[in-house]
Amino acid sequence: MPIKIGVLVPNSNYIPFLARDIPHALALGLAENLGMNYELCIEPSGYNADKNVLVSKIQELLVKQQVNVVVAPLNAGLIEDLKPYFSGQQVPLIVNTLGEDVVNHTAQDPYVFINSFNLWQTSWLSGYWGAAEYGKTACSMAAFHDGGYGITFAFGLGLEAQAGKLVHVAVTHRESRVEDPSESIQMIATNHPDFMMGFYAGKETLSFLEAYHRLSYRDSIPLIGLPFMVDESLLDEVGELALGIKTLSCWRRNTREDQAFTQTFQAETGHPVNCYVLMAYETGHLISRAVQQIGINQSLNGKLPEALHAVEFQGPRGLIKFHPETKEVVTTNYLREVVRGEDGRFYNKVIREVDTPALFYEQLALARKNLAKQGWLNPYLVA
């Protein structure tokens, strides 16, 4: 009998082909571990943000399809409501999330595993590093669809951990993805911050950077941001507007493992890789290794969660494995800077690894106790 893997695939207005590419990347990760037969049971689920839709799809997978494990991009705010369906059937759920919100302690469960980009940590470290690098006062700007998550709060916490202060916050692109944010940037400049943090992705990035450069603040107000502001898929279009921007990211890129995955995926699909595709690929490896540990032809009943605890995978982001207590993957952050390569193209050059201080984990533990979820319930970049 093949292992049956349920996949709740979302549509995205930010990432083209996402609903098709997630299963493909998952299958690629599964196939690279030879000897395992599998069946993907795919359920389109809108934006993976409506609890009622998700519950219906989950019950279809668990009860009718009798899957052995479910993979789903989700926002942390929905996990607590969904976890009883998995623990009740003793079927593990592997959440793929960008980590835009903290997984609170009531959402943790023996049957819930989290493969994350840990953006909350990246954002916290951006504030912490920025205050040490540029100065103690900062402003932040976020597009409407990028700002409705815990990452903006995490940036302020990291800044304050270095005795810094957030002196102004602006939300832009409320009406259109291409609106001009010049007025908000000029308002921020009146506060004379030591640096500015940008929460932007996709088309909003381009209009924001165009205004930032047109107003000539590049030299007077250093700009940092989340990795999606200078994502490789945008750099050819953004061009010199991104030159010199520094970001932190857990995805180092250009490693041997990353190049192999990227080349294979692009050759098979014709599409660029992205964060959700990468996590699906990693998840495929983790599932297949867990099954191999149990035994290819052995019953999986009740054994898969314990096996998932024990496996690891050296992939494009480095070593991926689930933490024994939180069941979340632990990642390393790298400081990067956009530079121009010898071929004339722009890329994110890794400068160094960024250590995570003990204070971060103390504040993360406190954040896990905050049960009030505010903002969007759709996974980040899925809407």
**pLDDT tens-place string over residues 125-161:** 999 999 999 999 999 999 999 999 999 999 999 999 9
- Check: CB of residue 71 under 8 Å from CB of residue 113: no
Strands 137-143, 246-249: pairing kind: unpaired
**Ramachandran area for residue 145 (φ above 0: left; ψ -120 to 50: alpha; else beta):** alpha
**Ramachandran area for residue 378 (φ above 0: left; ψ -120 to 50: alpha; else beta):** beta
Structure tokens at 222: 């250093």
Would you tell me how many other CB atoms lie within 10 Å of the CB of residue 137? 17
- Check: CB of residue 98 under 8 Å from CB of residue 379: yes
- E strands, the chain, in order: 3-9, 38-44, 69-73, 93-97, 112-116, 137-143, 165-172, 195-199, 223-225, 246-249, 312-315, 318-321, 333-340, 346-354
pLDDT at residue 106 in the model: 94
- Check: CB of residue 195 under 8 Å from CB of residue 245: no
pLDDT at residue 34 in the model: 66
- Check: CB of residue 130 under 8 Å from CB of residue 160: no
Burial of 179 (0-12, 13-18, 19+ CB in 10 A): middle
Q: What is the CA angle 332-324-359, rounded to 5?
A: 50
Backbone phi, then psi, for 176, in 5-degree steps? -150, 150
pLDDT at residue 234 in the model: 93
Ordered structural domains, the chain, with CATH: 3-118+254-321 (3.40.50.2300), 120-249+332-368 (3.40.50.2300)
Contacts 24+ apart (CB under 8 A), 143-146: 143/171, 143/172, 143/173, 143/177, 143/199, 143/200, 143/201, 143/204, 143/208, 144/171, 144/172, 144/173, 144/174, 145/173, 145/204, 145/376, 145/383, 146/199, 146/200, 146/201, 146/204, 146/380
pLDDT at residue 244 in the model: 97
Structure tokens at 253: 């890129």
| Whole-Å CA distances, 256 to 21, 223, 262, 263 | 22, 30, 10, 11
What is the DSSP-derived secondary structure letter of residue 52? H
pTM metric for this prediction: 0.96
**Ramachandran area for residue 350 (φ above 0: left; ψ -120 to 50: alpha; else beta):** beta
- Check: CB of residue 89 under 8 Å from CB of residue 62: yes
Residues of the chain with pLDDT under 50: none
